Structure 1
Amino acid sequence: MSHPLSADPGDVTAAARGVVRVVLIGQEGGQLVPVTHGSGFAVTPTRIVTNAHVLREALQDTSLRIGVVPSQGEKSAYAKVIAVSPRNDLALIEITGGTLRLPPLALAGGQDSGAMGEVVAVGYPMNVDLAQGLTIGDIFRAQPPVKSRGFLSGERPSRQFDTILHTAPIARGNSGGPLLDGCGRVLGVNSFSADSDGGGAEFFFAVSLRELIPFLRAQDTEPQVNALPCRSIDELNAEERARLESEQAAVRERLARRDAVLREAQDEARLAAQMEVIAARENRVAAALLLLLASIAGGVATMRLYKGDAPRGQLLGAGALAAGALIAAGLLWATRPGLAAIEEKVAEALAQNPAINPGAGARPATPDATKAATSDGALVCTLVPERSRVTSSRIDDVEFAWAGDGCVNGRTQYGRTTQGEWSRLVVPDDEDAVAVNTFDPATRTLRTERYLLGADAMATARAARRQYDPPACGANEAARILGEQQSALLAMLPDRPNERLVYSCASKP
């Protein structure tokens, strides 16, 4: 089932972190000066897409250098040309020097550009620079890109290549910047505008992904293509609540059915037990009465023999029979089943009833089988798309070896919160994102929530992460200690993540 795109407030802002100003730089009086500029966006941490016409002057004049100015931070860098395709106005450049790495943007695979959805053009229009009074020197400083909204107007071939027609305003300087869908994924590369001198409505063109993806792959550059539906966090939270309520209702229904079956089984077992116990009591009482009568008769016979001066042996035999019958009658009376036996038989019948205890009558599991069913081990975790929100992350399967003490893959300790949740925070040095991984051993569910932060927020997160050293697997109270260590950093994160990846884990074959 497909879902409509559903943007979260931070989607375009997160994507804009990977948008750059592409500046052609010359020298004048020994000073570096910008000659012209366009826009571009990262498809890998070091490779940037822009328009071929943005680089035209640099390709014709080898004295000009290509500069890359990111949207945040203090670092800028030079770049070299990897490939240029004038036919469809695409170019690929690569950062040199290793001083700057960018968050790549994902391409929106599988989207219908004719759906008239809202789009955002992101880049560095020169008319905005002029309106803000920026000087030439300001071009070399990090500036947030300009975002303009519009709507898709369809796809059509133009200038012999595939383009997307839209109404998000762009101007000179926007060339090479991305056209984004509502969830911050690239739909195309902004290239040119329609002539509106006649006073008609203005339209703008972006090079489509049908042109961009083959161009990148021809240069051994595999972009991140995301064809999954984009779901808002609010939508996911609502569906999770509904799913939990449905599961709880199903459990209540199962318990109600089980209670009904139990009551019926109890009634049947009690009736059968009552009849069995009453019959046993009556049989024993009758037998005891018969023996008592036999004892009385034996006593009478003994008295007659005594009065008749019978031999001593006959007297003793008759007396012994009378006494034995009396003792047997007493034992039968004393051991007749009581009313408590009814409840004992009811409990025994319920324990052996498969409708109440599914395992009743089954062969006991061997020690090895029990260990195999309950032991920790290697898992393979697969994304559950309908419970996930993915904008730019990879969605490959995850190998996840879990141990009961919270040790993952034999080397990474997870922390335990006071609510009993197992989690681990990841704050990388080479990516502007904080990931919170949580695992529920009971349901074998792995969840990764990613916060795509700006440069300042990442610097703060990295400083907080350096304040503690996570305990190693197997250390004394490692889970509790790590849970406490991570709490301060967790409190610093935004209220909502940009992405949520939910995986279902199963035993590795």
Structure 2
Amino acid sequence: MRQLFTLLALLVTALATPALADPADIQAATRGVVRVVIVGSDGPELLPISHGTGFAIGREQIVTNAHVIRQALEDERLAIGIVPADGENAVYARIVAVSERNDLALLTTTEPLRLAPLTISGNPPTSGTVTAIGYPRNVDLAQGLEFADLFRAQPPVTATGFLSGRRPSREMDTLLHTAPIAAGNSGGPLVDECGRVIGVNSFGAESQGSDAEFFFAVSNRELLPFLRANDVSPQVNAGECRSLAMLDAEDRARRDAAAARAAEAAERDADAIALRTEALRREAGYAVMDSRANGMALAFLALLIGTAAGGVAAWFHVQRAFRKRAAAGVVAVAALVGALVAWFTRPPFTDIEKRVEDALYDEQDGADAGPIAVSGSGGDYVCVLDPERSRVTGAPQADIPLAWSEEGCVNARTQYGLAEETWSRVFVPATEAAVSVNRFDPANRELVMERYLLDREAMTAARAARGSYTAPQCGAGRDAARTLGEAQGAVIAALPASPNERLLYRCSPAQPSGTAE
């Protein structure tokens, strides 16, 4: 009963943990938000005409509002400039598609920017906290920025509010929310607590000063068909927005519940062993007592025979029948010796505990018989995403084939490092602003992939740390794996405390070729 209350308390604790996202998710989403500037010219001088916001749904593809680029549509002398949030020079963009009905436009840059694409929510919330990301003009004015400053990379502004649900308007499906936006925010993303796009900010409700202000975003019901109609396949994630804190609390509750079950099972086993020991002790006691009684009876019988044989030998001695006296004497001596042997070979009472121990050992030895699984051995696996234990913000691969060797080689091409008896590999790509840390536990057959979405400064530091060592080829041995594990520590130490995404895969042996599933 005590264990049951413990499990219930752990479950209540896990369910009570709020599903809030880390602020780092919103910060990570800002990396893919850009300023969209309508540019004119006066001779060699460029003149910003107006600006709005856009966001990346591919490395070079950008979504914004149709009304943001309307001037460029109407006047071919005007160009569209794209200013990223982080560090790169501004580039021009060309128009791929425009939908005036739902105020959407798709652009592509004329030069590579390697933007960080935002993930589209496939199951957007109908209420809760939302964040608008963009470049409101009133903030620019408050900072005293000139139009020329619009070509300089600056982080976008984030504003938080509440989602009031869907509200069809202007012949399109929109979301009504209270995250403040202003002129310049148009075309920017409205994101959930995990930084996933749930709409494209478009316009606000007119306010008479004292009225509450509401704003509208074009919903994903409009955005996704628009993108697919233009052969764009964005990252879409329909999973629940869950925080790492929530996952960690659930994992702790799961471990504590498992420990409580193990303790309860151990207690049951201890009780069962105690009962079995008592039964074996009774059986051994009866057997020893029977053996002792039989020994005593045999000794008494042999003593009687020896006494009688001795009497017969004495009588033959009187009768001077010496041969018969000798035979009777031999019988008497043998009987007396047998009586002594029977008496002194009776099992002692201490044999009871020895017999109990031997019986328990034989029973345990029989229960343990069978093949022994070798922990950490290599093999071919199929790793399947466990959504209940994962925090998914992007569009991950559901199933991953993994061939593991005892020396830490994956798929015969990627060597993992070994540090503190944990196998891991750090990936620092040159073209993506994200660091991945993969860990594989061969004993429990679990693959954990954590992704850190970093700004340019943090990414530069991670690349510098990664450039300080060379990963060994597969087959270099455990010493090389330990050297790699130690070297990777410098990259891991430079990462934030928590990742933006954690994917946990449970791996099972792959079926041989030709085997039906």
Q: TM-score, normalised by structure 2?
A: 0.89
Cα contact 1:280–1:337 (8 A) shared by 2: yes
Deviation larger for 11-20 or 65-74: 65-74
Kindly indicate whether residue 272 of structure 2 is the aligned counterpart of residue 271 of structure 1. Answer: no
Kindly indicate whether residue 447 of structure 2 is the aligned counterpart of residue 433 of structure 1. Answer: no
Give the corresponding residue for 1:404.
406
Letter in 2 for 1:106: T
Question: Given the superposition, is the C-alpha separation of residues 265 and 292 from structure 1 closer, same or farther in structure 2, using an over 3 Å criterion?
Answer: same
> C-alpha distance in 2, partners of 1:34/1:102?
22
Unaligned runs of 5+ in 2: 1-14, 512-517
Cα contact 1:390–1:501 (8 A) shared by 2: yes
SS of residue matched to 2:293: helix
Give the corresponding residue for 2:122.
109
Give the corresponding residue for 1:247.
258
SS of residue matched to 1:157: coil
Give the corresponding residue for 1:360.
366
Give the corresponding residue for 1:317.
327
Give the corresponding residue for 1:468.
469
Kindly indicate whether residue 451 of structure 2 is the aligned counterpart of residue 485 of structure 1. Answer: no
> C-alpha distance in 2, partners of 1:223/1:103?
12
Give the corresponding residue for 1:100.
113
1:267 to partner: Cα distance: 1.1
Give the corresponding residue for 2:31.
17
1:332 to partner: Cα distance: 2.6
Cα contact 1:472–1:478 (8 A) shared by 2: no
Match for residue 126 of structure 1 among 125, 134, 137? 137
Letter in 1 for 2:333: A
1:87-126 per-residue CA deviation (whole Å, 9 max, x = no partner) reads: 11111122233x311111112222332x2x2221111122
SS of residue matched to 1:360: helix
Letter in 1 for 2:137: M
Deviation larger for 136-145 or 270-279: 136-145
Q: TM-score, normalised by structure 1?
A: 0.90
Match for residue 26 of structure 1 among 15, 40, 43? 40
Deviation larger for 287-296 or 330-339: 330-339
Cα contact 1:471–1:481 (8 A) shared by 2: no
Letter in 2 for 1:448: M
Kindly indicate whether residue 160 of structure 2 is the aligned counterpart of residue 149 of structure 1. Answer: yes
Give the corresponding residue for 2:59.
45
1:204 to partner: Cα distance: 1.8
Deviation larger for 439-448 or 249-258: 439-448
> C-alpha distance in 2, partners of 1:431/1:278?
81
Give the corresponding residue for 2:80.
66
> C-alpha distance in 1, partners of 2:282/2:209?
96
> C-alpha distance in 1, partners of 2:89/2:314?
126
Letter in 1 for 2:156: P
**Which residues in structure 2 correspond to 1:80-479 (within 5 Å)?**
80-97=94-111, 99-113=112-126, 115=127, 117-196=128-207, 200-310=211-321, 312=323, 314-353=324-363, 357=364, 360=366, 364-365=369-370, 370=372, 375-418=377-420, 420-476=421-477, 477-479=479-481
Cα contact 1:413–1:478 (8 A) shared by 2: no
1:183-241 per-residue CA deviation (whole Å, 9 max, x = no partner) reads: 21111011122233586433221111100011111122122222222222222222222
> C-alpha distance in 2, partners of 1:234/1:370?
37
> C-alpha distance in 2, partners of 1:286/1:339?
17
1:148 to partner: Cα distance: 1.8
Letter in 1 for 2:336: L
1:415-465 per-residue CA deviation (whole Å, 9 max, x = no partner) reads: 3333x3332222122221112222333322222222211111001011001
> C-alpha distance in 2, partners of 1:89/1:4?
35
1:46-71 per-residue CA deviation (whole Å, 9 max, x = no partner) reads: 21111122222323333433322110
Letter in 2 for 1:486: Q
Kindly indicate whether residue 468 of structure 2 is the aligned counterpart of residue 503 of structure 1. Answer: no
Letter in 2 for 1:479: A
Give percent identity, aligned residues only: 52
1:311 to partner: Cα distance: 6.0
Letter in 2 for 1:399: P
Letter in 2 for 1:165: L
Question: Given the superposition, is the C-alpha separation of residues 108 and 297 from structure 1 closer, same or farther in structure 2, using an over 3 Å criterion?
Answer: same
1:132 to partner: Cα distance: 1.7
Cα contact 2:439–2:448 (8 A) shared by 1: yes
Question: Given the superposition, is the C-alpha separation of residues 5 and 311 from structure 1 closer, same or farther in structure 2, using an over 3 Å criterion?
Answer: closer
Deviation larger for 248-257 or 319-328: 319-328
> C-alpha distance in 2, partners of 1:100/1:42?
10
Question: Given the superposition, is the C-alpha separation of residues 371 and 253 from structure 1 closer, same or farther in structure 2, using an over 3 Å criterion?
Answer: closer
SS of residue matched to 1:33: strand
Question: Given the superposition, is the C-alpha separation of residues 28 and 377 from structure 1 closer, same or farther in structure 2, using an over 3 Å criterion?
Answer: same
Cα contact 1:5–1:182 (8 A) shared by 2: no
Cα contact 2:377–2:442 (8 A) shared by 1: no
Size of the aligned set, in residue pairs, is 496
Letter in 1 for 2:366: A
> C-alpha distance in 2, partners of 1:315/1:193?
133
Kindly indicate whether residue 496 of structure 2 is the aligned counterpart of residue 494 of structure 1. Answer: yes
SS of residue matched to 2:187: coil
Unaligned runs of 5+ in 1: none
> C-alpha distance in 1, partners of 2:455/2:273?
59
Deviation larger for 422-431 or 82-91: 422-431
SS of residue matched to 1:235: helix
Letter in 2 for 1:59: L
> C-alpha distance in 2, partners of 1:141/1:361?
73
SS of residue matched to 1:158: coil
Deviation larger for 243-252 or 55-64: 55-64
Cα contact 1:4–1:230 (8 A) shared by 2: no
Letter in 2 for 1:478: A
Cα contact 1:3–1:229 (8 A) shared by 2: no
Question: Given the superposition, is the C-alpha separation of residues 331 and 96 from structure 1 closer, same or farther in structure 2, using an over 3 Å criterion?
Answer: farther
SS of residue matched to 1:436: strand
> C-alpha distance in 1, partners of 2:209/2:295?
115
Letter in 2 for 1:29: G
